[in-house]
Structure 1
Amino acid sequence: MGYAFTLDDVAYLRSDAGCAALSALADLPLTPASRLADVRRAKQVSPDHSGAVLETVLLRRKAVAKVDFDQGLFTDDALQQATPRAVAEHRARRFAGRVAHDVTCSIGADLAALPDGSFGSDLDPVRVAMARHNLAGSRAVLRADALRPVSRHVPVVADPARRDSAGRRTWRPADFAPPLDELAAAYADRDLAVKCAPGVDFAVAPWADEVELVSLDGHVREACLWTRGLATPGVTRRASVLRSTGEEWTITDAEPDDCPVSEPREWLVDPDGAVVRAGLVRQYGHKHGLAQLDERIAYLTGPVPPPGIRAFRVVEHGHYSEKALRAVLRAHDVGKLEILVRGLDIDPNALRPRLKLSGGGSMTVVLTRIGRRPVYLLAHAERT
């Protein structure tokens, strides 16, 4: 759970003495091997707030690739849940031209991306103080309970905490803080956007008019539940795929989903995780002229893969058994093997040593099923 900051810690870290201590300790190694020496030095520089200073130095290093706060203040939990810049900016576009209220603003990462004039609130006084520091007066931040509305007539953004009282991650929406259904009920008359973990069962949010899954650089980062005027008419599910380069594309359940089933062809395509999690594999396959290997498996195949993805050029395929796969890999002189599994109960880490790889080549094997038949597809991974 990390260091438990107090309001006194935050006041110190914002003071001239705190800034000087953070600057003096910015070069600490902060490795397991240097831990004792780091603590000793921190206590020499800042005897009364050494824990807060050490934690802040560490969290600032972690924050560089995630949030855009120069000399920011964070808690470990808040930074872990903070939205990456590109994802926060993507979500904020739906609020263009509107003032919004972030009712769980935490350290201010999502609030910073919202349009000018937007404001935030949080029940945790420490996070409110950190958000005020991080936003440097660009947004108003007050202390308030998200379940007791303090604003009217403006759209609302929320990101409920997803850890229980012991600090463990929870997937039960009733255990979120605030609970998901209570949050939706409190703003039933407002346009509402709720950020959730992508693993949440969306059936627990029947009040959501649109569910959007968002990935960044191949990793599914969040689900956003949109209601009322923030949702897209005619769309109930959307996948948005973002890249750090600025490229992005989206696909929805309003698009055609005619997608045949086919035996493996020249290429195998594993759709982006946002597409799979949103249940839009058929729409993606139709859009790119691909077919499914099996109606219940999220692999696609076809003569040409979509541009700009990592796809697999199929070398051969056949019925899977360990013995057969071992012989195939030996015939292709494979010594380095990427193992992908979907639809079969196989542990790649347990399988790899049993394959007794000894060749000089490098390939990918996909283990899946077509109907009830387990199959392997041996391929070369390529960037299209």
Structure 2
Amino acid sequence: MAFAFTLDDVAFLTSRYGEKALATASEMPLTDASLLKDLPELRSRYSPHEAALVETVRTRRRAVGKLDDADRLLLSDTALQQATPTAVAAHRAADIAGRHPGAVVHDVTCSIGAELSALSARTELGGVLGSDLDEVRLAMAAHNLGDRRGVQLMRADALAPASNADVVIADPARRSARGRTFRLDELDPPLLELLAVYAGRPLVVKCSPGLDYRMLRDRFGIECHVQVTSLDGGVREACLWTEADDLPDRRATVLRTVDGVVRVEEFTSDDPDDIDSPGVDEWIVDPDGAVVRAGLVQHYAHRHGLRQLDPQIAYLTGSTVPAGERGFRVIDEVGVTEKALRGALSSHDCGSLEILVRGLDIDPDRLRRKLKLKGSKPFALILTRVGRNGVGFLCEPGVRTPHR
């Protein structure tokens, strides 16, 4: 069971004595193996806050790379899982500031303040508000924001509007009593209620990357701009923007960290999508997940001079690999049965194999075990469908081209 902070814990951790206690705890291993030794020492000096110290230090360590200034934040494991990565929040804040200069923005599910921190850095905005029902997380947010420019915090229910802010941001919790959920009615607060409560005001709702945004339009008649965002290859969220008639229906935002700088590439449903007829060229490219989930594979292919292996499959092919992308140079076309694969892999002296699958019901790990590779060379195997037929492409190990 996850540790639950109290207001007393937060008060202790933000005191001078608590800061010294955190410094002491941060020098300890605090691993699963060392806790039996470390915890009694912390308890003897800092009881009853030893568990809060352990949770804070361990969570800060996990937050490195996701949140800036992780070593000074107050946050729980659950809050960290829900928090928007700094790079994603910063890009959204710039987006909002560019579309609504001078606006007051209200994050109605602000939690520990990750989104508020990014918004407060935008001097183009007229003000930033944050609210949450959880008093402990509000106290954490107050600490995490520090002396950030003019952020006002309040305790309020997201479904009971507490301000007349020009733009509203919400991030419904995606966990129910059974764990992570993708059901719209199990989000907290429920997505449809949020959309109804803030109808007529620009609302930005962060949702799971697996959100069926097409159902919102087809079943509920909700018109909104959908933005799917990835960071360093991992799809982070699908974001809904209401009252955004000037934006295209769909957008894929691809963020990549290169030499400490976040680079941005975006594709939209308004971009051209005409490409050459399907076929197989020298390289196979697996587009970023944000592009795939936003339904913009052909738009991506057009920009980079690629085409599809099959009109219904997201794998692309071309004579070159786009800058910063990972490509697989095709060596041989093979069958997809175990017998055919064993023969092909044996003839190429395959000893290790990365397997990528789209369009076929194949478990890569299970297949790899069955193939019982005995060779010495590494390869990649792409298994997919062309028309109605399964097909495999044996490739050199994937390589990522440098950014320009």
Q: TM-score, normalised by structure 2?
A: 0.91
* Structure 1 residue 68, shift from structure 2 partner: 2.2
Deviations 1:2-46 (Å, cap 9, x if unpaired)? 211111111111112222211121112122211211211121121
Q: How many angstroms apart in 2 are the aligned matches of 1:361 and 1:318? A: 17
Q: How many angstroms apart in 1 are the aligned matches of 2:36 and 2:279? A: 60
Deviations 1:243-286 (Å, cap 9, x if unpaired)? 11222110011112223442321111111000001111111112
Distance 1:289 1:197, change over 3 A: same
Name the aligned partner's letter for residue 281 of structure 2.
R
2:89 maps to: 88
Would you say 1:17 and 2:8 are equivalent positions?
Answer: no
1:101 maps to: 106
Would you say 1:213 and 2:228 are equivalent positions?
Answer: yes
1:196 maps to: 207
2:74 maps to: 73
* Structure 1 residue 375, shift from structure 2 partner: 0.6
Q: How many angstroms apart in 2 are the aligned matches of 1:368 and 1:180? A: 35
| SS of equivalent residue, structure 1 residue 32 | coil
* Structure 1 residue 234, shift from structure 2 partner: 5.2
Q: How many angstroms apart in 2 are the aligned matches of 1:183 and 1:210? A: 16
Note if contact 1:343-1:369 (Cα within 8 Å) is conserved in structure 2.
yes
Greater displacement, 240-249 / 66-75:
66-75
Name the aligned partner's letter for residue 353 of structure 1.
R
Note if contact 2:106-2:165 (Cα within 8 Å) is conserved in structure 1.
no
- Report 1:1-384 matches (<5 A): 2-69=2-69, 70-96=71-97, 97=101, 98-114=103-119, 115-116=122-123, 117-138=127-148, 139-165=151-177, 168-206=179-217, 207-228=222-243, 231=244, 233=246, 235-245=248-258, 246-380=262-396, 381-384=398-401
Q: How many angstroms apart in 2 are the aligned matches of 1:239 and 1:318? A: 33
Note if contact 1:193-1:225 (Cα within 8 Å) is conserved in structure 2.
yes
Name the aligned partner's letter for residue 181 of structure 2.
T
Q: How many angstroms apart in 2 are the aligned matches of 1:45 and 1:234? A: 56
Deviations 1:334-368 (Å, cap 9, x if unpaired)? 11111111111111111112222111111101011
* Structure 1 residue 233, shift from structure 2 partner: 2.1
| SS of equivalent residue, structure 2 residue 40 | helix
Q: How many angstroms apart in 1 are the aligned matches of 2:134 and 2:87? A: 26
Q: How many angstroms apart in 2 are the aligned matches of 1:60 and 1:27? A: 13
* Structure 1 residue 75, shift from structure 2 partner: 1.7
Note if contact 1:173-1:204 (Cα within 8 Å) is conserved in structure 2.
no
| SS of equivalent residue, structure 2 residue 72 | coil
* Structure 1 residue 232, shift from structure 2 partner: 6.2
Q: How many angstroms apart in 1 are the aligned matches of 2:361 and 2:21? A: 53
Q: Which runs of 5+ in 1 are unaligned?
A: none
Q: How many angstroms apart in 2 are the aligned matches of 1:344 and 1:62? A: 35
Aligned length: 381
Distance 1:365 1:160, change over 3 A: same
Deviations 1:88-126 (Å, cap 9, x if unpaired)? 111111221332111110000011101353121111111
Q: How many angstroms apart in 2 are the aligned matches of 1:234 and 1:32? A: 48
Q: How many angstroms apart in 1 are the aligned matches of 2:17 and 2:390? A: 65
Greater displacement, 125-134 / 11-20:
11-20
CA RMSD of aligned residues (A): 1.5
Name the aligned partner's letter for residue 234 of structure 2.
H
| SS of equivalent residue, structure 2 residue 65 | coil
| SS of equivalent residue, structure 1 residue 79 | helix
Name the aligned partner's letter for residue 385 of structure 2.
R
Q: How many angstroms apart in 1 are the aligned matches of 2:10 and 2:369? A: 51
* Structure 1 residue 208, shift from structure 2 partner: 4.5
Note if contact 2:278-2:311 (Cα within 8 Å) is conserved in structure 1.
no
| SS of equivalent residue, structure 2 residue 34 | helix
Note if contact 1:208-1:226 (Cα within 8 Å) is conserved in structure 2.
no
| SS of equivalent residue, structure 2 residue 229 | strand
